[in-house]
Amino acid sequence: MLVSPSLLAADFANLHKEIEMINRSEADMLHLDVMDGVFVPNISFGFPVIKAVSKICRKPLDVHLMIVEPEKWVTRLRDLGVETMNVHQEACVHLDRTIHAIREAGMKAAVTLNPSTPVAMLEDVIAELDMVLLMSVNPGFGGQKFIDNALAKVGRLRRMIAESGSRALIEVDGGVNAKTGAMLAGAGADILVAGSYVFASHDPEEAIHSLKIL
Ligand code: DX5
Ligand code: ZN
Protein backbone atom coordinates (compact mmCIF):
# COMPACT_ATOMS: atom_id res chain seq x y z
CA MET A 1 0.00 0.00 0.00
CA LEU A 2 1.13 3.54 -0.74
CA VAL A 3 0.68 5.98 2.15
CA SER A 4 0.14 9.75 2.02
CA PRO A 5 -0.05 11.26 5.54
CA SER A 6 -2.19 14.42 5.67
CA LEU A 7 -0.38 17.39 7.20
CA LEU A 8 -3.71 18.92 8.29
CA ALA A 9 -3.52 16.97 11.56
CA ALA A 10 0.13 17.92 12.25
CA ASP A 11 1.37 20.30 14.95
CA PHE A 12 1.79 23.53 12.95
CA ALA A 13 3.89 25.08 15.72
CA ASN A 14 6.43 22.32 15.09
CA LEU A 15 6.19 21.85 11.35
CA HIS A 16 9.92 21.27 10.88
CA LYS A 17 9.88 18.40 13.36
CA GLU A 18 6.76 16.91 11.74
CA ILE A 19 8.34 17.02 8.25
CA GLU A 20 11.51 15.39 9.60
CA MET A 21 9.33 12.57 10.91
CA ILE A 22 7.73 12.23 7.44
CA ASN A 23 11.21 12.18 5.82
CA ARG A 24 12.34 9.37 8.15
CA SER A 25 9.10 7.40 7.77
CA GLU A 26 7.92 4.94 5.15
CA ALA A 27 5.44 7.52 3.77
CA ASP A 28 5.38 7.55 -0.03
CA MET A 29 4.20 11.16 -0.31
CA LEU A 30 2.86 14.01 1.80
CA HIS A 31 -0.79 15.09 1.43
CA LEU A 32 -1.43 18.85 1.69
CA ASP A 33 -5.04 20.02 2.15
CA VAL A 34 -5.75 23.51 0.82
CA MET A 35 -9.18 24.94 1.78
CA ASP A 36 -10.69 28.28 0.75
CA GLY A 37 -13.75 28.70 2.98
CA VAL A 38 -15.94 28.70 -0.17
CA PHE A 39 -15.76 25.21 -1.69
CA VAL A 40 -15.61 23.79 1.84
CA PRO A 41 -16.72 25.38 5.14
CA ASN A 42 -13.17 25.74 6.48
CA ILE A 43 -9.85 27.49 5.70
CA SER A 44 -6.53 25.71 6.11
CA PHE A 45 -3.29 26.97 4.54
CA GLY A 46 -1.93 28.13 1.19
CA PHE A 47 1.21 28.93 -0.79
CA PRO A 48 3.54 30.15 2.00
CA VAL A 49 3.09 26.87 3.88
CA ILE A 50 3.41 24.72 0.74
CA LYS A 51 6.61 26.62 -0.14
CA ALA A 52 8.12 26.13 3.32
CA VAL A 53 7.21 22.44 3.33
CA SER A 54 8.58 21.86 -0.17
CA LYS A 55 12.00 23.17 0.94
CA ILE A 56 12.43 20.51 3.62
CA CYS A 57 10.20 17.61 2.62
CA ARG A 58 11.97 14.86 0.67
CA LYS A 59 8.70 13.05 -0.20
CA PRO A 60 6.65 14.04 -3.26
CA LEU A 61 3.87 16.53 -2.51
CA ASP A 62 0.26 15.41 -3.09
CA VAL A 63 -1.78 18.64 -3.02
CA HIS A 64 -5.56 18.33 -2.48
CA LEU A 65 -7.26 21.57 -3.50
CA MET A 66 -10.63 22.07 -1.79
CA ILE A 67 -11.09 25.41 -3.53
CA VAL A 68 -13.16 26.95 -6.30
CA GLU A 69 -11.45 27.62 -9.65
CA PRO A 70 -8.39 25.42 -8.90
CA GLU A 71 -7.25 25.83 -12.54
CA LYS A 72 -5.97 29.31 -11.66
CA TRP A 73 -3.09 27.86 -9.65
CA VAL A 74 -1.50 25.28 -11.98
CA THR A 75 1.67 27.30 -12.65
CA ARG A 76 2.09 28.42 -9.02
CA LEU A 77 1.92 24.83 -7.78
CA ARG A 78 4.24 23.55 -10.51
CA ASP A 79 6.78 26.24 -9.57
CA LEU A 80 6.64 25.06 -5.95
CA GLY A 81 7.67 21.58 -7.06
CA VAL A 82 4.33 19.89 -6.42
CA GLU A 83 4.16 16.40 -7.93
CA THR A 84 0.39 15.70 -7.89
CA MET A 85 -2.37 18.30 -8.22
CA ASN A 86 -5.80 17.07 -7.05
CA VAL A 87 -8.80 19.13 -8.20
CA HIS A 88 -12.40 18.41 -7.23
CA GLN A 89 -14.69 17.37 -10.07
CA GLU A 90 -17.40 19.47 -8.39
CA ALA A 91 -15.18 22.59 -8.59
CA CYS A 92 -14.26 22.33 -12.29
CA VAL A 93 -16.63 23.48 -15.03
CA HIS A 94 -14.10 22.51 -17.73
CA LEU A 95 -12.54 19.47 -16.12
CA ASP A 96 -10.95 18.09 -19.31
CA ARG A 97 -9.19 21.42 -19.94
CA THR A 98 -7.93 21.58 -16.36
CA ILE A 99 -6.58 18.01 -16.47
CA HIS A 100 -4.65 18.82 -19.66
CA ALA A 101 -3.26 22.03 -18.15
CA ILE A 102 -1.97 20.11 -15.12
CA ARG A 103 -0.30 17.48 -17.31
CA GLU A 104 1.17 20.06 -19.68
CA ALA A 105 2.71 21.78 -16.66
CA GLY A 106 4.49 18.51 -15.89
CA MET A 107 2.49 17.48 -12.82
CA LYS A 108 0.45 14.35 -12.22
CA ALA A 109 -3.26 15.02 -12.70
CA ALA A 110 -5.71 13.79 -10.08
CA VAL A 111 -9.44 14.34 -9.77
CA THR A 112 -11.21 14.16 -6.41
CA LEU A 113 -14.83 13.07 -5.89
CA ASN A 114 -17.03 14.02 -2.93
CA PRO A 115 -18.90 11.14 -1.26
CA SER A 116 -22.09 12.06 -3.17
CA THR A 117 -20.46 12.19 -6.63
CA PRO A 118 -20.68 8.93 -8.60
CA VAL A 119 -17.52 7.51 -10.17
CA ALA A 120 -19.37 7.54 -13.53
CA MET A 121 -18.65 11.31 -13.65
CA LEU A 122 -15.08 10.37 -14.61
CA GLU A 123 -15.88 7.97 -17.44
CA ASP A 124 -14.82 10.40 -20.17
CA VAL A 125 -11.58 11.55 -18.56
CA ILE A 126 -10.32 8.45 -16.76
CA ALA A 127 -7.79 7.66 -19.52
CA GLU A 128 -6.10 11.04 -18.91
CA LEU A 129 -5.72 10.67 -15.15
CA ASP A 130 -2.77 9.63 -13.01
CA MET A 131 -4.89 9.35 -9.88
CA VAL A 132 -8.46 9.50 -8.62
CA LEU A 133 -9.01 10.64 -5.03
CA LEU A 134 -12.20 9.28 -3.49
CA MET A 135 -13.39 11.18 -0.42
CA SER A 136 -14.58 8.90 2.36
CA VAL A 137 -15.73 11.91 4.43
CA ASN A 138 -17.29 15.20 3.36
CA PRO A 139 -14.22 17.40 2.78
CA GLY A 140 -13.33 20.28 5.08
CA PHE A 141 -12.26 18.71 8.36
CA GLY A 142 -9.96 16.07 9.74
CA GLY A 143 -11.02 13.51 12.30
CA GLN A 144 -14.41 12.61 10.79
CA LYS A 145 -16.01 9.18 10.61
CA PHE A 146 -15.36 7.02 7.55
CA ILE A 147 -18.36 6.81 5.17
CA ASP A 148 -18.81 3.17 4.18
CA ASN A 149 -20.00 3.80 0.62
CA ALA A 150 -16.37 4.52 -0.28
CA LEU A 151 -15.70 0.77 -0.30
CA ALA A 152 -18.22 0.05 -3.07
CA LYS A 153 -16.97 3.12 -4.96
CA VAL A 154 -13.41 1.80 -4.93
CA GLY A 155 -14.73 -1.42 -6.55
CA ARG A 156 -16.68 0.48 -9.22
CA LEU A 157 -13.71 2.70 -9.99
CA ARG A 158 -11.36 -0.33 -10.14
CA ARG A 159 -13.61 -1.83 -12.86
CA MET A 160 -13.78 1.46 -14.79
CA ILE A 161 -9.98 1.76 -14.71
CA ALA A 162 -9.51 -1.84 -15.90
CA GLU A 163 -12.02 -1.43 -18.75
CA SER A 164 -10.49 1.85 -19.95
CA GLY A 165 -6.86 0.73 -19.69
CA SER A 166 -6.17 3.83 -17.57
CA ARG A 167 -3.02 3.96 -15.41
CA ALA A 168 -4.86 5.91 -12.68
CA LEU A 169 -4.17 4.98 -9.08
CA ILE A 170 -7.01 5.01 -6.54
CA GLU A 171 -6.42 7.14 -3.45
CA VAL A 172 -8.88 7.34 -0.54
CA ASP A 173 -9.07 10.20 1.97
CA GLY A 174 -10.98 10.59 5.23
CA GLY A 175 -11.41 8.50 8.36
CA VAL A 176 -8.61 6.15 7.39
CA ASN A 177 -7.09 4.03 10.17
CA ALA A 178 -5.75 0.47 10.38
CA LYS A 179 -9.29 -0.97 10.32
CA THR A 180 -10.84 1.08 7.50
CA GLY A 181 -7.46 0.94 5.71
CA ALA A 182 -7.60 -2.86 5.67
CA MET A 183 -11.12 -2.75 4.21
CA LEU A 184 -9.97 -0.28 1.54
CA ALA A 185 -6.99 -2.47 0.70
CA GLY A 186 -9.40 -5.39 0.20
CA ALA A 187 -11.60 -3.24 -2.04
CA GLY A 188 -8.64 -2.33 -4.29
CA ALA A 189 -7.32 1.05 -3.11
CA ASP A 190 -3.71 1.93 -4.06
CA ILE A 191 -3.01 4.92 -1.79
CA LEU A 192 -4.32 5.77 1.69
CA VAL A 193 -4.41 9.32 3.05
CA ALA A 194 -4.39 9.50 6.84
CA GLY A 195 -4.36 12.63 8.99
CA SER A 196 -5.38 12.11 12.60
CA TYR A 197 -4.55 8.40 12.60
CA VAL A 198 -0.90 9.31 11.89
CA PHE A 199 -0.32 12.65 13.59
CA ALA A 200 -2.42 12.06 16.72
CA SER A 201 -0.69 8.74 17.28
CA HIS A 202 1.90 8.42 20.04
CA ASP A 203 4.11 6.77 17.39
CA PRO A 204 3.38 8.35 13.97
CA GLU A 205 6.08 6.38 12.15
CA GLU A 206 4.58 3.13 13.42
CA ALA A 207 1.09 4.31 12.38
CA ILE A 208 2.43 4.92 8.86
CA HIS A 209 4.03 1.46 8.91
CA SER A 210 0.72 -0.14 9.93
CA LEU A 211 -0.89 1.25 6.75
CA LYS A 212 2.14 0.51 4.61
CA ILE A 213 1.88 -3.25 5.25
CA LEU A 214 -1.80 -3.48 4.23
C1 DX5 B 1 -10.45 16.40 4.78
C2 DX5 B 1 -9.08 16.28 4.18
C3 DX5 B 1 -8.32 15.12 4.66
C4 DX5 B 1 -8.09 15.10 6.16
C5 DX5 B 1 -8.19 13.67 6.58
O6 DX5 B 1 -11.19 17.32 4.09
O7 DX5 B 1 -9.15 16.17 2.77
O8 DX5 B 1 -7.11 14.92 3.97
O9 DX5 B 1 -6.85 15.62 6.56
O10 DX5 B 1 -8.18 13.62 7.97
P11 DX5 B 1 -8.46 12.28 8.75
O12 DX5 B 1 -7.49 11.24 8.26
O13 DX5 B 1 -8.26 12.67 10.17
O14 DX5 B 1 -9.88 11.88 8.43
ZN1 ZN C 1 -7.28 15.61 1.70
Q: What is the pLDDT of residue 51?
A: 98
pLDDT of residue 173: 99
86 Cα to the center of ligand 2, angstroms? 9
Question: Using alpha carbons only, how large is the chain's radius of gyration in Å?
Answer: 16
Residue pLDDT, tens place only, 73-117: 999 999 999 999 999 999 999 999 999 999 999 999 999 999 999
HEC profile of 157-194: HHHHHHHHCCCCEEEEECCCCHHHHHHHHHHCCCEEEE
pLDDT of residue 145: 98
Rounded alpha-carbon distances, angstroms, from residue 133 to 5, 104, 154: 14, 20, 10
User: Which residues have any ligand 1 atom within 6 Å of their CB?
Assistant: 6, 8-9, 31, 33, 64, 137, 139-144, 173-176, 193-197
Residues whose beta carbons lie less than 5 angstroms from ion ligand 2: 33, 64, 173
Residues with catalytic function: 33, 173
pLDDT digits (tens, 9 = 90+) for 117-135: 999 999 999 999 999 999 9
Residue nearest to atom 4 of ligand 1 (CA): 142
Q: What is the pLDDT of residue 66?
A: 99
If you measure from the C-alpha of residue 25 to the centroid of ligand 1, how many angstroms do you get, rounded to a whole number?
19
Q: Which atom of ligand 1 is nearest to the CA of 143?
A: 13
CB 62 within 8 A of CB 84: yes
From the CA of 102, how far away is ligand 1's center (Å)?
23
| Overall average pLDDT of the 164-169 stretch | 98
CA terminus-to-terminus distance, the chain: 6
The rounded distance, in Å, linking the Cα atoms of 207 and 213 is: 10
Reported as a pLDDT band with limits 50, 70 and 90, residue 160 is: very high
pLDDT band at 72 (very low <50, low <70, confident <90, very high): very high
For the CA of 86, the nearest ligand = 2
pLDDT band for position 196 (50/70/90)?
very high
Of the pLDDT bands very low, low, confident and very high (cuts 50, 70, 90), residue 53 is: very high
Distance 85 CA to ligand 2 centre (A): 11
For the CA of 198, the nearest atom of ligand 1: 12
Residue 70: predicted pLDDT:
98
Ligand nearest to the CA of 140: 1
Mutation pick for ligand 1 pocket among 18, 173, 180, 196 (CB with most ligand atoms within 8 Å): 173
In this prediction, residue 141 has a pLDDT band, given cuts at 50, 70 and 90, of very high
pLDDT at 17: 98
| pTM metric for this prediction | 0.98
Q: How far apart are CA 39 and CA 42, in angstroms?
A: 9
What angle, rounded to 10 degrees, do the helices at 47-56 and 15-24 form? 50
Q: What pLDDT does residue 90 have?
A: 98
pLDDT confidence tier of residue 10, bands split at 50, 70 and 90: very high
Contact predicate 27/3, CB 8 Å:
yes
Give mean pLDDT, residues 60-78.
98
